[in-house]
Amino acid sequence: MKRFIGFIKKEFYHIFRDRRSLFILFGMPIAQIMLFGFAITNEINNVDIAILDHSKDITSQEIINKIASSKYFSIKQLIKNEAEIEAVFKKGKVKAVLIFEKDFSKNLTKENNATIQIITDATDPNTANTISNYTNSILQKYQQEINKNIKTPYQIVPKTRMVYNPELKSVFMFVPGVMTIILMLVSAMMTSISITREKELGTMEILLVSPIKPFQVIVGKVIPYVFLSIINAIVIVLLSIFIFKMPIQGSLFLLGVESVLFIITALALGILISTISATQQTAMMISLMGLMLPTILLSGFIFPIASMPLPLQVISNIIPAKWFVIILKGIMLKGVGLTFIWKETLILVVMTLFFIALSIKKYKIRLE
Amino acid sequence: MKSKNVIKVENLTKKFGDFTAVNKISFKVKTGEIFGFLGANGAGKTTAMKMLIGISIPTSGDAQVAGFDVFKNPEDIKKNIGYMSQKFALYDDLTVKENITFFGGIYGLSRKQIEEKRCLLVEELGLQDIVNELVGSLPLGWKQKISFSVALLHNPKIVFLDEPTGGVDPITRRQFWEMIYKTANNGTTVFVTTHYMDEAEYCDRVSIMVDGKIEALDTPTKLKEQFKADTMNDVFLKLARG
C-alpha cells in the first residue's frame, strides 16, 4: 500500500510539473465551456440590419420602432434607394435589409394588403434563416395588435411551448457535450499519453522488473486522472450553474455516479490505447482521431443523430459519448431518474467492461 | 561464498513463433562475479536477459536466479535483483532526491532506510549540489551513475546492466567500471551486457552469443588463448564471422 501511495505521489509530480498537461487539465475545460457558452451560439443578438423605407408613414415607423426595440436587431443604417442594398451587403456591414413599399399605410388600410421585403445575407444560411424567422414573428405580433378589434371568422392559433429549455438557450445544449468531451480528453488522452511516456523513456521496463505488479502500475497511473477528472466535472457543473444559470433538474448524486462511470469508460479506453501504441505521439494521434473526432461529431452534441445518414447513425451507437450525452441531458435538463436512463447506463457499463477486458488481454500479450 | 552459483541456466530457450531467439543456452554465474554477456545486435542477449529478470517467460529449459525459479517464483526474483537499462531510465521531471525516494519506495524500503541510503549516496557520489535538481537537467554521466546507484538501493544479490555505458565518454566509462568493481567486491554479482570489447576485458568471465547460442564462455585470458587472438575484439570477430 505504501508503495502505491509513493507511486501516486510521483504521478502528481509529473502532472503538476508539466505546464502543457496542466493547461489541458484545467485551462481547457474553462476555456471550452466559456467558448461554447458565450461565443459559439445558435442564437442571434443585436444583428445589424439596414432599412429602406419608401413610404415613411406612421405604420412603417411603428414597425421600425418595434424592430429597433427588440434585442435581436439593431438598425445600423437607413438607406435611400435599391442601388445601395448591394453596397451595404458587400461591405458586410449588415446581415439583412428590410424594404417597405411605397404607400405602406395606405395599402394596408385601403387594400388590406401591404408588403415588406426581407433580404438576408445567406452566406451564413443559419443566421439568415433565424433573422427571417425573428422578423416574421415581430411582424406577426404587430399584426395581431392592430387586428385586436377585428374578428376574423376562422383562425388556427398554434401555441408552441418549448419544454426543458424554454428559452432555447444553446448553452444548455452545449454543457453536456462539453462535459463529455473534456472528460473524454482528460481521461483517455492524458492517461494513454502518460502510460506510453513511461514506455518511451524506458521507465516502464524498470517498473516491470521491480516487485511492483503491472496492474498496480496501471491503477497507480490512472487514479490521479480519476481524481482530476472528477474535479473537472465539478468545475463544469458549477460554471454552468452559476455563470450560465443552467438548472440541474435531476439528482446531483446520480449525475456524480454517472460521471464517474463515464470517466472509468474513458480511462479504460486510454489504457487500451496505451497498450497498442509505442510512443506518446501515436497515443495522442489515436486519442485525437479515434476518440475526440467521433466524440464531437457523432455523439449528437452538435449534429443531431436523427438527421445523419443511416450508416453514421449505426456507427454512433458504438461511441460511448453518445450514451453519456443522453444521460447528461436527461439528468440535467429533464430531471429524469435512473429508471429512464438505465439502458444507456447499462450500455456504458458493458462497454467499460469490454475495454478493460480487452486491454488486460493486450497487456498480457505484450508481457510475453 | 565465491563458489556458490547465483544464476543457473540450463537449455533455456525462447521462441517467437517460428523464430528461435534464444537456443538452449546453459551457463552458471558465481556469487560476486562480474559476468560479461556479449553478442552482436540481434544475437539474443537482450531476450536472454529479459527471461532472467522475469519480464519474459521462457519457452523451455530451466533457470534459477538468486535461488528462485524463473517459472515458479518470478516475483521473488524481482525482489532480489537490480536492473539498469541502456536508457538510464530515471524520471527527468523528478529531482535526484525524489527519484531515489520513489525507487526506494517501490522496492519496499522504509522511509528511514531510504533516508539513510540517500545520505550515503550523496556522500559517495558527491551529489550535494545536485540532489535537488531535476534529473532532466543533468549530464548523461551523472544520470548513468545515479541510475546504477538506484538499481542497487535495495541491496540486490545480482544487478543486471543492459549496455550500461552506451553514449558516455571514455573517462566516464572508466569511472563507471570502477563503480562496478566496487559493487562486485561488496559481494553483489554483476551481470553486464556490452558492445565495447575493451570492457569485456574487465569482466571475470564472458560469454559470447551468436545467433541465439552461446559459442564461447570463459575468462578473457583463456578465450584469447583459445582463439589465438590478442584482444577480445579479435575473439569476437573470429566468432561472429564463423
Residue A164 inside a domain? The answer is no
Q: What distance in Å separates the CA atoms of residue A308 and residue A312, rounded to the nearest whole number? A: 6
Q: Does residue B166 sit in helix, strand or coil?
A: coil
Residue B13, CA distances (Å) to B10, B60, B63, B74, B202 in order: 9, 5, 10, 17, 28
Buried b (16+ CB within 10 A) or exposed e, A222-238: bbbbbebbeebbebbbe
Q: What distance in Å separates the CA atoms of residue B36 and residue B22, rounded to the nearest whole number? A: 17
Nearest CA to CA, how far is B225 from chain A (Å)? 37
Q: What distance in Å separates the CA atoms of residue A236 and residue A29, rounded to the nearest whole number? A: 7
Contact B106 A212 (CB under 8 A): yes
pLDDT value at residue B159 = 96
Antiparallel, parallel or unpaired: β B205-210 and B189-194 = unpaired
Nearest CA to CA, how far is B237 from chain A (Å)? 31
Contact B106 A201 (CB under 8 A): no
State the average pLDDT over residues A73-94. 87
Nearest CA to CA, how far is B222 from chain A (Å)? 34
Q: Which three cell numbers stand for residue A73?
A: 436587431
Task: Give me the long-range contacts of A251-255 (CB less than 8 A, separation at least 24).
Answer: A251/A331, A251/A337, A254/A331, A254/A337, A254/A338, A255/A328, A255/A331, A255/A332
The CATH number of the domain where A119 resides is what? 3.40.1710.10
Residues A176 and A272 in one domain: yes
Give me the residue from B53, B86, B93 closest to A209, CB to CB.
B53
Nearest CA to CA, how far is B231 from chain A (Å)? 33
Residue A170's pLDDT band, with cuts at 50, 70 and 90, is confident
pTM of the model: 0.80
Low-confidence ranges of chain B (pLDDT < 70): 1-3, 242
Instruction: Say yes or no: ipTM exceeds 0.85.
Output: yes
Inter-chain contacts counted by CB atoms under 8 A, chains A and B: 70
Residues A320 and A358 in one domain: yes
- Residue A84 CB neighbours (<10 A): 15
Q: Are A90 and A50 within 8 A, CB to CB? A: no
Residues of A in contact with B54 (CB under 8 A): 209
pLDDT value at residue A40 = 66
pLDDT value at residue B60 = 93
Give me the residue from B90, B102, B107 closest to A211, CB to CB.
B107
Instruction: Outline where DSSP puts E strands in A114-195.
Output: 116-120
Residues A135 and A175 in one domain: no
Q: What distance in Å separates the CA atoms of residue B144 and residue B141, rounded to the nearest whole number? A: 5
Q: Does residue A212 sit in helix, strand or coil?
A: coil
Residue A286 inside a domain? The answer is yes
Q: CB-based burial of residue B161 (10 Å sphere; 0-12 exposed, 13-18 middle, 19+ buried)?
A: buried
pLDDT value at residue A245 = 84
Name which of A2, A16, A203 to mutate to probe chain B: the one with the most chain B Cβ atoms within 10 A of its Cβ.
A203
Residue A42's pLDDT band, with cuts at 50, 70 and 90, is low
Residues 199-258 on A with a CB inside 8 Å of B are 201-203, 205-212
A16 touches chain B (CB under 8 A): no
Q: Which CATH entry fits the domain spanning B32-56+81-241: 2.60.120.10, 3.40.50.720, 3.40.50.300, 3.40.50.1950?
A: 3.40.50.300
Q: Which amino acid is at A186?
A: V
What confidence tens digit (pLDDT) does each residue in A262-294 have? 999 999 999 999 988 889 999 999 998 888 888
Percent of chain A whose predicted confidence (pLDDT) is above 70 = 96
Domain interval for residue A303: 2-40+169-367
- The mean-pLDDT minimum among A152-156, A190-194, A294-298, B175-179 falls in A152-156
Give the end of a domain, one of A146, A177, A205: A146
Contact A201 B91 (CB under 8 A): yes
- The mean-pLDDT minimum among A60-64, A125-129, A158-162, A246-250 falls in A158-162
Residues of B in contact with A194 (CB under 8 A): none
Instruction: Outline where DSSP puts E strands in chain A.
Output: 47-53, 73-79, 96-100, 116-120
Residue A159 inside a domain? The answer is no
Residues A52 and A69 in one domain: yes
Residues 173-202 on A with a CB inside 8 Å of B are 201-202
Name which of B73, B28, B74, B70 is nearest B191 in CA terms.
B28
pLDDT value at residue A364 = 65
Residues A35 and A80 in one domain: no
Q: Does residue A275 sit in helix, strand or coil?
A: helix
pLDDT value at residue A38 = 77
Residue A154 inside a domain? The answer is no
Which H or E run includes B69?
strand B68-69
Residues A174 and A36 in one domain: yes
Nearest CA in chain A to B15: A368
Residues A73 and A110 in one domain: yes
pLDDT value at residue B1 = 43
Contact B91 A203 (CB under 8 A): yes
Query: How many Å from the N-terminal Cα to the C-terminal Cα in chain B?
Result: 37
A10 touches chain B (CB under 8 A): yes
Which H or E run includes B70?
none
Q: What distance in Å separates the CA atoms of residue B203 and residue B196, rounded to the nearest whole number? A: 12
CA atoms within 13 A on the CB side of B153: 32
Residue A362's pLDDT band, with cuts at 50, 70 and 90, is confident
Name which of B91, B110, B148, B150 to mutate to probe chain A: the one with the most chain A Cβ atoms within 10 A of its Cβ.
B91
Residues A211 and A315 in one domain: yes
Residues A106 and A210 in one domain: no
Contact A211 B106 (CB under 8 A): yes
Antiparallel, parallel or unpaired: β A116-120 and A96-100 = antiparallel
Residue count of chain B, please give it: 242
A98 touches chain B (CB under 8 A): no
Name which of B57, B66, B68 is nearest B12 in CA terms.
B57
Check residue B8 and report its DSSP letter: E
Q: Does residue A116 sit in helix, strand or coil?
A: strand
What confidence tens digit (pLDDT) does each residue in A224-264 have? 999 999 999 999 899 888 888 888 889 999 999 999 999 99
Q: Are B220 and B213 within 8 A, CB to CB? A: no
Q: Are B147 and B90 within 8 A, CB to CB? A: yes
Q: Which three cell numbers stand for residue A209?
A: 522488473
A13 touches chain B (CB under 8 A): yes
A27 touches chain B (CB under 8 A): no
Give me the residue from A202, A203, A211 closest to B79, CB to CB.
A211
CA atoms within 13 A on the CB side of A210: 28
Cross-strand bridge partners of residue B205: B35
Residues of B in contact with A208 (CB under 8 A): 55
Give me the residue from B85, B94, B107 closest to A205, CB to CB.
B85
Residue A242 inside a domain? The answer is yes
Kindly report the average pLDDT of chain A as a whole number: 87
Residue A8 inside a domain? The answer is yes
Contact A206 B56 (CB under 8 A): no
Residue A292 inside a domain? The answer is yes
Residues A219 and A325 in one domain: yes
Contact A202 B87 (CB under 8 A): yes
Q: What distance in Å separates the CA atoms of residue B8 and residue B160, rounded to the nearest whole number? A: 15
Q: Are A354 and A333 within 8 A, CB to CB? A: no
| Number of domains composing chain A | 2
Residues of A in contact with B106 (CB under 8 A): 3, 6-7, 207, 210-212
State the average pLDDT over residues A196-218. 88
Q: Are B31 and B7 within 8 A, CB to CB? A: no
pLDDT value at residue A368 = 46
Residue A273 inside a domain? The answer is yes
Q: Which three cell numbers stand for residue A40?
A: 459559439
Residue A152's pLDDT band, with cuts at 50, 70 and 90, is low
Q: Which three cell numbers stand for residue A118?
A: 426581407
How do the domains of chain B map onto residue ranges? Answer: 32-56+81-241
